Amino acid sequence: MSTLSAVSPVAAKVALSVELKEAKEMLAFYRGRVQFLRAAVKEVRLDNKIARSAARAEKAAARDAKRAERVAKLEAKLLALKTGPVGTKARAAAKRPSKAVVRKA
């Protein structure tokens, strides 16, 4: 004999209504949980986007600083080439030229 036929229709209806109520409560809970998780995912995505943007800006600043340092170094080198040698060796070379200079009168 089946258990359904042994249960009265009123008791079955009550059992189903209780189960339906529990299912609706679970559904409401999970809908709220889904909303919370969606908001959390959005927040994490936004944080990651901000972090990537900050990292890009930091890299750009480092790149610009490195470029400026390189330009300054090359400008100093160019200035040194334009002005000629400086120091004790330059003074000594100026006193004793290696080649005789022939001047026409």
pLDDT digits (tens, 9 = 90+) for 37-87: 999 999 999 999 999 999 999 999 999 999 999 999 999 989 888 876 667
Contact between residue 93 and residue 85 where contact means Cβ atoms under 8 Å apart: yes
**pLDDT confidence band for 9 (50 / 70 / 90):** confident
Domain boundaries of the chain, sorted by first residue: 9-85
Does residue 101 come out as left (phi exceeding 0), alpha (psi in the -120 to 50 range) or beta? beta
CA dihedral 40, 43, 49, 52 (to 10 degrees): -80
- 26 or 10: whose pLDDT is higher? 26
**pLDDT confidence band for 1 (50 / 70 / 90):** very low
pTM over 0.75: no
Per-residue model confidence (pLDDT) at position 33: 96
Between CA 18 and CA 9 the distance in angstroms is 14
Q: What is the DSSP string of 63-75?
A: HHHHHHHHHHHHH
